[in-house]
Amino acid sequence: MLRTAKPYDIIIIGGGHAGIEAAFAAARLGCKTALFSVSLDSVANLPCNPCIGGTAKGHLVREIDALGGEMGKVADKTFIQSRILNRRKGPAVYSLRAQIDRRQYQDEMKHRLELQENLDILQGEIVKINVENGAVVSAQTAAGAVHPCRAVIIASGTYLKSRIIMGEYAVDSGPDGLFGANQLSDCLRELGIELFRFKTGTPPRVNAKTIDYSVLGEQLGDDEITPFSFESTVETMENQVKCYITYTNEETHRIIHENLHRSPMYSGGIEGIGARYCPSIEDKIVRFPDKDRHQLFIEPMGLNTEEMYIQGFSSSMPQDVQEQMLRTLPGLLNAHIMRYAYAIEYDCINPLQLAPTMEFKAISGLYGAGQFCGTSGYEEAAAQGLVAGINAARKLQGLPPVVIDRSEAYIGTLIDDLVTKGTLEPYRMMTSRSEYRLILRQDNADARLTPLGYEVGLISQERYDRFLRKYEQVAAEIKRLEKVIFPPTAAVLEFLKEQNSSEVSTGIRAAELLKRPEITYKALAQIDKAREILPADVFEQVEVSIKYAGYISRQLSHINQFKKLENKKLPDDIDYERITGLRIEARQKLTKIRPHSLGQASRISGVSPSDIAVLIVWLKQGKF
Amino acid sequence: MKNDTIAAIATPIGVGGIAVLRVSGENAIEIAQKITKLHNKDAGLHNLHNAESHKLMLTLIHQPNDENDIIDEALVAVFTKSSYTGEPTVEINCHGGYMAASTILSALIESGARLAEPGEFTRRAFINGNIDLTRAEGIIDIIHASSELGLKNATNSAIGRLHERINAIRAEGLLLAAHIAAIADFPEEIEEMEDMEFISAVKNIQISIKDLQDGFKTGKMLRDGIGTVIAGKPNVGKSSLLNALLREERAIVTNVAGTTRDTIEEYVNLRGVSLRLIDTAGIRQSIDAVEKLGIERTISNVETADLVLFVVDVSAEITTEDLSIARLCGGKNVILIANKSDLPARYNHTELRAALDLPDVEVVSTSTPSNGEVSGVPELESIIAEKFKLGEISGENVYIFRERHREALLRAGLAVERLIEGAESGVPRDLLSVDLEEVLTSLGEIVGTTVQEEIIDEVFANFCVGK
């Protein structure tokens, strides 16, 4: 029995990281919004790693925060250990990662959703999306409630027709024993949407009391904690747990080899496509036979639990093999598994069907976000959810779309990759996916995106003013350092000697000294007596801007090149079939994807540089 | 209008017995029809639309509105398929000279064609897939190539080898870039490459780039020839030397009209490479003018020359004129020609060098009497060949010769330099990847993996109207 139920502007399917950001954005921008989840106890679940951030992912969280998203704030509130990775490398690849108390994170996030104006959160499975004249008109629950709406954002994660596999055992189920969503896929197919089947996996969790810590390496958090969010205050943040390190060995590898025939990845029990960048331990051993050991991290799942997550030990082996494998690891000889590792298969879409706004090109008002669009990772999901939420709201309000390009953010890079290149495996963000990583640093995400967040309406006036003040301070300090001259006094020479830096015979500007790789802003304090005490995030900007000025300006000039092609718009009505200089594959791809600019066209696989050259000349024809 | 019909005169104005006009575009045949009357045996066709493709027909070309106002008699061919541009094309071969061709062009424009922009025919060929960018560039090179080896260097096999070389360098760079990316993205799993190893890998790339850069001089020489000036005061035998060079080498390449068409350059083929004797025609025709303009004219010629053949009369006293030319030659690539050596010489080679204050210059004795035996020319040629290492040039090697390639390699070279400097002073690798990427994109411009509008514009800007 169908019934007409409460109407909404925007309905969001799924309460994971994508759905959450979409819901907050849509509701905060004034749309009547509903978020449906198959179980409200699974909202904001971290079904895999109990951590947020990491290489490139930390950048995404910072960017989400600068646009007014929620992930960073809640991570800062519920983290139990925080660390910056790649500290010894350059600032472009510093990456913030935090271990999270999983339960606390879920509770905090759910509570915030409950408090949000304009937002209803409901337990229920959406099984059908009704489309009339090419536009979304309503969404229907399994119980028969038909909610009229003007837009739907699908953020179904790994739940569509999900199937869990451990060796020979397989069961239709969502993660963590939750129900999957088994009907929506069919509706999507009927709407003409192309589906893929992807696979991902997770390692076992073991009980802490059965681990022998005495033989494990420890990994501690940073002494000085860096928050994700611009709005968090560092003073109250503290590391509360340790992580541990162990390694696989010959014995582990032997057990895996002997039981490979029982792994569904190799016996053919799994049809979904997995991510190369997130391989199971059996994949690693098969693909890197020369490596005699693999590093594993043992991470606590929270403060009020003894569950420990064995990072790097994903597996789809049968339970008995998992036990044997685990007991070969130093410190885990007697470990008791609480949750076994498993692989999970699920339906997702070919993201080439989406526009950069995350809207389906063929169905007005239908959006996708998160793992549903072929990605993997909480942060990737949240980023898409935020963009989908913003754009769905803006469309309903008659405002122009917000599209972030590759030179502005990892978020832009992520979405451009998805909708331009597509993906044939779960897509994970990496710093190497960006051509402009020196500009897209995590430390300047606020500078890059706060103005946009403010303009869109997700950043408060108070925060925006504080942001402006920060960059005024940065500019003033840079100016000061460019003026201050240190004469070659005994104190200065002594300082240079201490820093293993070459001598000076004449006065030298502070900015010049700071450009030397061996001299840090902090160390410079010894001779820079006139300086004011500045907050860490301010002097960090100052230091990076001065120290790497040459590199930054060269990358900026690359960005100018990029923008030129990006600004060459391709008219919507180009008939690519008629441009016979294009190779046939290029004509087909261009017709399918309909890129908005020459730049986007140049990134489509199957469109070669010579095709782009043809388009450039074609666009100019008659205008030379 | 993307497919409007364009027309232009495809042959140089004012040269040759015939001129060719080209009309291309959707309405090419219709437009040509408006000014064309088929002759006798083809008259049965009534209309150019019925004409067989690729076949020349005798026609009368007339003014658009008056069939009896004949402009010229001309051979016309219609290309309905596989034309140069890939569009319907009509080619009109009329009488040479300025009047006929330009009147026909006006008639075509009056009938609805538009005057083609420089390079527009080739651009259309390109858009329609008849040629690719490399071939478009190759066409320019072939138009410009001045010698056998130059032509060989310009052909596709040489381009293919250049691409191979560049791709090999790029592959080394990509490996390093991938390594930098991998250690950034998987810091817990991948070991960082040692500094020594990293720097030496970059230095290898630097050497390869430098090798290619060094080939530019040779490549340019192959394409443009060796710009050679025969300098000397009047009556020392410059023209006879030129004639001797031309006579010695029976294969006189051609008289090539330069772009401004007012200076004539003589080409002499020397072991596969062109000796481009600059402005010698001018010198020959107006000895007086040289006397009048004095050194001034010679100055500019000598300054831009790749090689100066400085001719003196060894049987006569060195004069102040000789000395002032000698001063100009200082620091240039000079061969001293001790001409008239059949007469009693006043100086031996050492004395001559000393008298002219050109201590390290090579000297060749020649004699070029108008009615006697010419001598010394083979020796001169050997010295030139040695000077330009012509023996080492092989058709199998790759020499870059395009300014665009030289410039891209220059940028790649500078970026590599910064890369090494940064690596040696301990700049983090992920920053160095900014320079590494610049190396890769610059090299990519040469092989066409990097597309930039400027490059495309530059390629087509080198064409003239009618091409």
Instruction: With beta carbons less than 8 A apart as the criterion, state whether A150 and A129 touch.
Output: no
pLDDT in tens, B408-460: 999 999 999 999 999 998 888 889 999 999 999 999 888 877 766 776 676 66
Is residue B449 less than 8 Å (CB to CB) from chain A? yes
Nearest Cβ partner of B2 from A90, A294, A622?
A622
pTM: 0.83
A positions 16-75 inside 8 Å of B (CB): 55-56
pLDDT band at A79 (very low <50, low <70, confident <90, very high): very high
pLDDT tens digits along A582-621: 888 899 999 999 999 999 999 998 898 888 888 888 887 7
For residue B437, list chain A residues with Cβ-Cβ distance below 8 A.
435, 558
Phi, psi of B407 (to 5 degrees): -65, -40
The whole-angstrom distance between B219's CA and the closest CA on chain A is 25
- Class of domain A205-345 (CATH, top level): mainly beta
For residue B42, pLDDT beyond 80: no
Q: pLDDT tens for residues B156-211?
A: 556 778 888 899 999 999 999 988 888 888 877 777 888 899 999 999 999 999 99
The CATH architecture that domain B152-220+402-461 belongs to is Up-down Bundle (1.20)
Nearest to A616 among B184, B437, B456 (CB): B456
Contact at CB, B434 and A568, closer than 8 angstroms: no
Put simply, the answer to whether B448 touches A613 (Cβ < 8 Å) is yes
- Per-residue model confidence (pLDDT) at position B176: 92
B460/A617 touch (CB, cutoff 8 Å), yes or no? yes
CB contacts, 8 Å: B430 with chain A: 89-90, 92-93, 431, 437-438
CATH number of A463-554: 1.10.10.1800
Digit-coded pLDDT (tens) for A497-543: 999 999 999 999 999 999 998 899 999 999 998 899 999 999 999 99
Which member of A88, A555, A617 has the closest CB to residue B434?
A555
A3-198+346-456 CATH fold? FAD/NAD(P)-binding domain (3.50.50)
CATH number of B6-131: 3.30.1360.120
Q: Does B184 touch chain A (CB under 8 A)?
A: yes
Mutate which: B433, B440, B443, B464, vs A, most A CBs within 10 A: B433
Chain A contact set for B445 (CB, 8 A): none
Are A372 and A297 contacting, i.e. CB atoms less than 8 angstroms apart?
Answer: no
B87 touches chain A (CB under 8 A): no
Q: Confirm or reject contact between A84 and chain B (CB < 8 A).
A: no
Is A614 part of the contact surface with chain B (CB cutoff 8 Å)? yes
Which A residues in the span 298-317 are in contact with B, Cβ-Cβ below 8 Å? Answer: none
Of A85, A89, A614, the CB nearest to B127: A614
Q: Which two tokens stand for residue A172?
A: 């239709």
CB contacts, 8 Å: B178 with chain A? 432
Closest partner residue to A581 among B126, B430, B433, by Cβ? Answer: B126
Residue B99: what pLDDT? 83
Give dist(CA A152, CA A606) in Å, integer.
Answer: 32
Q: Do A432 and B450 touch (CB under 8 A)?
A: no
Residue B295 has pLDDT above 60, yes or no: no
The model's confidence at residue A210, banded by pLDDT at 50, 70 and 90, is very high
Lowest-confidence region among A152-166, B105-119, B384-398: B384-398
Give residue for tokens 């059996």.
A282
Question: What residues have CB less than 8 Å from A249, skipping those under 6 apart?
Answer: A292, A293, A328, A329, A330
B183/A518 Cβ within 8 A? no
For B66-111, write each residue's pLDDT tens digit.
888 999 999 999 998 888 898 999 999 998 877 888 899 999 999 9
Instruction: State the SS3 of chain B.
Output: CCCCCEEEECCCCCCCCEEEEEEECCCHHHHHHCCEEECHHHHHHCCHHHCCECCEEEEEEEECCEEEEEEEEEEEEEECCCCCCCCCEEEEEEECCHHHHHHHHHHHHHCCCEECCCCHHHHHHHHCCCCCHHHHHHHHHHHHCCCHHHHHHHCHHHHHHHHHHHHHHHHHHHHHHHHHHHHHHCCCCCCCCCHHHHHHHHHHHHHHHHHHHHHHHHHHHHHHCEEEEEECCCCCCHHHHHHHHHHHCCCEEEEEECCCCCCEEEEEEECCEEEEECCHHHHHHCHHHHHHHCHHHHHHHHHHCCEEEEEEECCCCCCHHHHHHHHHHCCCCEEEEEECCCCCCCCCHHHHHHHHCCCCCEEEECECCCCCCCECHHHHHHHHHHHCCHHHCCCCCCCCCCHHHHHHHHHHHHHHHHHHHHHHCCCCHHHHHHHHHHHHHHHHHHHCCCCCHHHHHHHHHCCCCCC
Give mean pLDDT, residues A546-563.
91
C-beta atoms of A624 and B123 within 8 A: yes
Inter-chain contact B128–A297, Cβ cutoff 8 Å?
no
B120 inside 8 A of chain A by CB: yes
In CATH, the architecture of A568-620 is: Orthogonal Bundle (1.10)
Would you tell me which residues 584-613 of chain A have a C-beta closer than 8 angstroms to some C-beta of chain B? Answer: 602, 609-610, 612-613
Q: Does B296 touch chain A (CB under 8 A)?
A: no
How far does the CA of residue B461 sit from the closest CA of chain A (Å)?
Answer: 10
Residue A7: both structure tokens together: 């109407």
Residue B183 is predicted with a pLDDT of 84
- Is it the case that residue A147 has pLDDT exceeding 90? yes
What's the pLDDT band for B264 if we cut at 50, 70, 90? very low
- Is residue B286 over pLDDT 70? no
Taking CA atoms, what residue in B is nearest to A608?
A: B449
The residue in chain A having the minimum alpha-carbon distance to the alpha carbon of residue B458 is A617
Chain B positions in Cβ-Cβ contact with residue A435 (cut-off 8 Å): 437
- Residue A527: its pLDDT value, please? 94
Q: Is the pLDDT of residue B404 over 90?
A: no
In chain A, whose CA is at the least distance from the CA of B192? Answer: A89
Task: Please indicate if any CB of chain A lies within 8 Å of the CB of B438.
Answer: yes
What are the boundaries of each domain within chain A? 3-198+346-456, 205-345, 463-554, 568-620
Q: What is the pLDDT of residue B220?
A: 79
Check whether A183 has a pLDDT greater than 90: yes
Measured between CA atoms, how close is B448 to chain A, in angstroms?
6
- What are the structural domain ranges in chain B? 6-131, 152-220+402-461, 225-392
For residue A237, the model assigns a pLDDT of: 87
For B336-377, the pLDDT digits (tens) are: 999 988 888 889 999 999 999 988 889 999 987 767 778 888
Fold of B225-392: Rossmann fold (3.40.50)
The chain B residue lying nearest A431, using CA atoms, is B185
Assess contact for B147 and B222: CB atoms under 8 A: yes
Contacts of A575 in chain B (CB under 8 A): none
Please indicate if any CB of chain A lies within 8 Å of the CB of B407: no
pLDDT of B285 > 60? The answer is: no
pLDDT at B256: 35
The confidence band for A342, taking pLDDT boundaries of 50, 70 and 90, is: very high
Would you list the DSSP string of A198-256?
A: EEEEE--EEEGGG--GGGSEEEPPPSS---SSTT--GGG------EEEEE--HHHHHHH
Q: Is A555 on the interface with B (CB under 8 A)?
A: yes
* Mean pLDDT of the region A210-214: 97
% residues pLDDT > 70 (chain A): 100
Q: Parallel, antiparallel, or unpaired for β B226-231 and B307-313? A: parallel
**CA distance to A469, A574, B23, B86, B409, per residue, from B5 (Å):** 60, 20, 7, 13, 39
How far does A386 lie from chain B, in Å, by closest CA?
24
Residue A448 C-alpha, separation from nearest chain B C-alpha, in angstroms: 19
Q: A284 in contact with B at a CB cutoff of 8 Å?
A: no
Mind listing the pLDDT tens digit for each residue in A224-278?
Answer: 899 999 999 888 889 999 999 999 999 999 999 999 999 887 777 777 787 777 7
Show the beta-strand stretches assigned E in A240-341: 243-247, 295-300, 307-311, 337-339
Q: Provide φ and ψ at B367, rounded to 5°.
A: -140, 135
Q: Residues of A numbered 480-539 whose beta carbons fall under 8 angstroms of chain B's beta carbons: which are they?
A: 517-518
Euclidean distance between CA atoms B40 and A113, whole angstroms? 90
Instruction: Please state, in angstroms and rounded to a whole number, the distance separating the CA atoms of residues A330 and A213.
Output: 9
Give the number of beta-carbon pairs within 8 Å between A and B.
Answer: 127
Q: What's the half-sphere exposure (Cβ side, CA atoms, 13 Å) at B113?
A: 32
Is the confidence at residue A408, as pLDDT, over 80?
A: yes
Nearest residue on chain A to B187, judged by CA atoms? A86
Question: Taking CB atoms and an 8 Å cutoff, what residues of chain A touch B185?
Answer: 55-56, 277, 430-432
| A201-206: average pLDDT | 96
Q: Distance (Å, rounded) from C-alpha A170 to C-alpha A168? A: 7
| pLDDT more than 90, % of chain A | 83
Sheet containing strand A135-141, strands side by side: A3-4, A145-148, A135-141, A126-132
Of A457-471, A610-624, B141-155, give the range with the top mean pLDDT: A457-471
Does the beta-carbon distance from B427 to A564 stay under 8 Å?
A: no
Q: Which of A49, A55, A89 to mutate to test the interface with B (most CBs of B within 10 A)?
A: A89
pLDDT at A245: 96
Contacts 24+ apart (CB under 8 A), A579-583: A579/A614, A579/A615, A579/A618, A579/B127, A580/B86, A580/B127, A580/B128, A580/B129, A581/A614, A581/A618, A581/B86, A581/B126, A581/B127, A581/B128, A581/B129, A581/B130, A582/A611, A582/A614, A582/A615, A582/B129, A583/A608, A583/A610, A583/A611, A583/B129
> Mean pLDDT over residues B233-262, rounded?
54
> B40 falls in which pLDDT band (50, 70, 90)?
low
Partners of residue B195 on adjacent β-strands: none
Average pLDDT value for residue range A289-301: 92
Q: Touching check for B425 and chain A: CB below 8 Å?
A: yes
CB contact under 8 A, A86 and B184: yes
Of B117, B126, B438, the CB nearest to A614: B126
Whole-complex ipTM:
0.82
Contact B150, B276 (CB under 8 A): no
